[in-house]
Chain A
Amino acid sequence: MIAQPEPKQAVMARRDAIIAGLRKLVPETGVIGDPLRLKPYETDGLSAYRQVPLAVVLPETTEQVAAVMAFCHREGVRVVPRGAGTSLSGGALPMADSVVVGLMRMNRILDIDYADRCAVVQAGVTNIGITQAVQAEGFFYAPDPSSQLACMIGGNVNMNSGGAHCLRYGVTANNLLGLRMVTVDGEILDIGGAHLDAAGYDWLGLMTGSEGMLAVVTEVTVRILRSPEGARAMLAAFKANEIAGACVDAIIGSGIIPVALEFMDRPAIHACEAFAHAGYPLDAEAMLIIEVEGSIAEQDYMLDRIRDICNRFDPVSIKVSQSAEESLAIWKGRKGAFGAVGRISPDYLCMDGTIPTSRLAEVLGRIGEMSAACGLQVANIFHAGDGNLHPLIMFDANDPSSFHKAERFGADILKLCVEVGGCLTGEHGVGVEKRDLMGVQFSEIELEQQRRVKSAFDPQWLLNPSKVFPLKPELPRAA
């Protein structure tokens, strides 16, 4: 069980009154108090940690969110904002005395402006929902986390989510223009707008990736981009991780920034191939998926140049897609990576550190040694262009010692990431999962600085208080 702040007894004791109070603020079906119906909210994408909340409330408007926040603030009740609950770091894990504010009913697209290339959407719109709404006009919303069918833009903002194409298009933070949000005491605030640059402090930047700790986001203004004429992928396989890593350096060093540059090690290749039959080379130690965009002629030009570079690294095989179908086949295995690993192992932890790309081979070598030492298998998937490493650690959840071993192994990998100059998390957030590792990356002075910024928004630490920072005994308890 993960440590949580001490539940406030005063709040627990007033459970019925709090639920009754919430029922006055949102439509009938928008408050859940029945323990059975609370069950789905007890966890998120990190299902090892569970805690049923006090209640769930599902507002439909910003004003309802404001009323709920003002009420909870008055009552001294902790609040956990929630989108789709796909967080892989336990960011949306409730506390026993908390009210979960779920944004899923706020799922409307409010405005699309093609001339100004922006859209205003409610926080509960799914990531893919934005692209679907604009693709008929030839536009798309760039950040594309693998969870994009389910995860919601409010969650993306709060986790600063990335995706396979962020090498070219950036992460969530680089694709936002404005937010409407509700403060912990129920004030509605607008920051940014349809314009590119705000003056004053960069609230938008600070909010992005704040993991539900600063305010509840209810509307998001995103940039939408015109889709490229086309895209095509190639696959290149190599005899060693070092060689594939050197090839990535050579591609980027040559001045080419592909839209995607994904790396898989041998266990990942095997897992994905067994699952997706994508035609991956099983005799390789490492494989790159490289995607470029543009007209057919532009794609050919770039792919030719990249193939020439790959050929200098003694490849096991190279396959350049000749069609959209072949590109899909190349991506199929990578996109199914989680399912593929899930087939080999009933349970796995998806880690998410970032390392300087120059240290890749060394880091994979050391992860291999750790894997052998603790007896747990690991497959590595890597956003090679930007250094974001996803080791998938396989374990058996029915065996508690296996889970603890996996947790320790994961923590050791993240410490290694920091040791070589990287960080604990590239896109999944700290949540509860990496909270106690924050001291590896930050000094106590630095953590205090960040805590003071949280306190500026949320003096009583009512908003998602158990996340990101190591718990402190003196964490404010009663309001």
Chain B
Amino acid sequence: MSIIAPTDAAGVVAAIRAAHDAATPLAICGNASKSGLLRPVQAANTLSTSGIAGITLYSPQELILAAGPGTRVADLAQAVAAKGQHLISEPPDLSAFYGNATPGTLGGMVATNLSGPRRVMWGATRDHVMGVVAVNGSGEQIHSGGRVLKNVTGLDLCKLLTGSHGTLAVMTEITLKVLPVPERRGTLVLKGLDPARAVAALSCALGSPYAVSGAAHLPAAMATQVPALAWIGDSVTLARIEDFAPAVAYRTERLRAELAEFGAVELLDDAASVAAWAAIRDVTPMVSDPGAVWRVSVRPSAGPAVIAALSQAFDARWFMDWGGGLLWIAGPATAATHQAVIAAAGQGAWTLMRAPESLRAAVPVIPPEAPALARIARKVKAAFDPRSILNPGRMVAGL
């Protein structure tokens, strides 16, 4: 098993051409910090984009940032912070969650389309990918989008490649939209709500005119895992407002009044707010959980019923983000638990985020598609990667 880590796009082209010609699969990764996600890939060789690093364009007034896929997300965050800006979707740092010290890269962030709490108001990572340059499975260089914020020229391959987990093409440059960091953050906290009341409160907050940009609920056992929240000693329901200082002061007061029917509302200050939401973003409450972890995206009002069903089925540990629309669930790493999660998720989408390799290899890790769509998916895969050499089987067995 060899690792190829080119330092430029030409190196990626060469590696993929060689693999294409020999019809030998490649495992595609950045720093492999999320190799514990989805299905294990069987490939003789690994192609890593970790060597294609560095910011290639940053124009703060144009809200545009481009970089090589190997650039560490933390480095990007730091570079934009120096200009008072941030990565909009609040991408998680899952290195602790996956039990490694490896920093995640931009390529991995975009290939997995993982987003943090701010997604509920400001969109997912896929909403802010403005351009990609990539190499398809035949070794051809393609680009989609560009370095401008509005672009509908041709099919939107940026969206298709984002979240495709390296199965369609290998990205060699990515352009993101960024935004100014709001001047201040304030987080309202309700204590002791059950899941149904919590989702009702969060629905009220998200349905308010105050632009709530984070809406989470952690049962007491999860909240104690987060230093910024542990002191509360009960379940916590959180609503965040990020804006100019006077707006945060005004909006948190108004929202506090609107949420009064759900109990006494406390306010986390800026620093505690930052710490609490970073922990939710990074799935900190489940870092030391011994079980498997699922991420389930449902209609927010369905969240409590999913939780109830899973708590019946097994010893489920869980917390909610996105106003109840995102459920993080931990439980025994068994096929039976997995089936229970699938059954409870119903119409929603689910992802097996962390589990022993044996389980990830044995079960579908994302929802199977309807037959007609699965047929299209196979043709789309072939349209990019006719010899099926890029991350085969990473998302779906046999694809």
Contacts and interface: CB of A to CB of B under 8 A. Distances in A.
A and B assemble together: yes
B59 A358 contact: yes
Interface string A195-207: 1111111111110
A385 B149 CA distance: 9
A26 interface: no
B160 A199 contact: no
Across chains A and B, which 7 residue pairs bring their CB atoms closest together, nearest first?
A: A205-B159, A456-B379, A199-B366, A452-B383, A255-B180, A426-B150, A194-B299
B152 A115 contact: no
A381 to B, nearest CB: 14
A421 B152 contact: no
Nearest to B200: A115
Interface in B192-232: 200, 203, 206-209, 211
A437 to B, nearest CB: 9
A145 B325 CA distance: 29
Contacts of A201: 160, 163-164, 377, 380
A455 B379 contact: yes
Interface residues of A, number: 94
A146 interface: no
Contacts of A208: 156, 159
B388 interface: no
B150 A199 contact: no
Nearest to B203: A115
Interface stretch (A50-58, A297-305, A366-374): A297-305
A385 B61 CA distance: 9
Interface string A422-435: 11111111100010
A289 B200 CA distance: 39
A204 B244 CA distance: 34
A383 interface: yes
A285 B329 CA distance: 59
A295 B252 CA distance: 13
A291 B205 CA distance: 24
B157 interface: yes
A75 interface: no
B376 A450 contact: no
A344 interface: no
Contact of B62 (A200, A226, A356, A456): A356
B326 A197 contact: yes
Contact residue range for chain B?
Answer: 35 or more
Nearest to A387: B148
A200 B377 contact: yes
A138 B373 CA distance: 37
Interface in A109-129: 113-118
A445 interface: yes
Interface string B97-121: 0000000000000000101000110
B56 interface: no
Interface centre among A193, A205, A423, A441 (most CB of B within 10 A): A205
Contact of B384 (A139, A193, A449): A449
B347 interface: yes
B136 interface: yes
A229 interface: yes
Contacts of B120: 196
A405 interface: no
Contacts of A159: 152
A198 B163 CA distance: 10
Contacts of B147: 356, 421
B372 A387 contact: no
A235 interface: no
A141 to B, nearest CB: 14
Contact of A386 (B126, B150, B246, B301): B150
Nearest to A172: B152
Contacts of B208: 226
Interface in B125-184: 126-127, 136, 140-144, 146-160, 162-164, 179-181, 183
A209 B377 contact: no
Q: Is the interface of A mostly helix, strand, loop or mixed?
A: loop
Given A195-B299, A199-B349, A226-B208, A354 B140 contact: no
Given A193-B348, A193-B349, A298-B244, 13 more contacts: A116-B203, A160-B156, A205-B158, A209-B156, A226-B206, A248-B61, A257-B180, A356-B64, A423-B146, A423-B153, A425-B153, A447-B154, A457-B376
Contacts of A162: 150
Interface of A: 113-118, 138-139, 159-160, 162, 166, 170-171, 173-174, 183, 187, 189-191, 193-206, 208-210, 213, 226-229, 248-250, 252-253, 255-257, 294-295, 297-298, 301-302, 354-358, 383, 385-388, 421-430, 434, 438, 441-443, 445-447, 449-450, 452-457, 468
A218 to B, nearest CB: 15
Contacts of B143: 442, 446
A293 B60 CA distance: 23
B150 A116 contact: no
A201 B155 CA distance: 14
A117 to B, nearest CB: 6
Contacts of A228: 209, 211
Interface in B269-292: none
A264 B366 CA distance: 48
A200 B369 contact: yes
B246 A445 contact: no
Given A229-B209, A256-B180, A298-B246, A453 B155 contact: yes
A204 B297 CA distance: 15
A455 B376 CA distance: 10
A195 B349 CA distance: 8
B350 interface: yes
A150 B115 CA distance: 35
A98 to B, nearest CB: 21
Contacts of B207: 114-115, 117, 139, 226
B209 A227 contact: yes
A290 to B, nearest CB: 15
16 contacts: A183-B372, A195-B349, A197-B349, A200-B369, A202-B113, A202-B163, A208-B156, A226-B209, A228-B209, A301-B244, A386-B150, A434-B153, A442-B143, A442-B154, A445-B140, A454-B155
A265 B223 CA distance: 55
A108 B396 CA distance: 37
Contacts of A139: 207
A226 B258 CA distance: 14
A267 B24 CA distance: 61
Contacts of B293: none
A327 B206 CA distance: 27
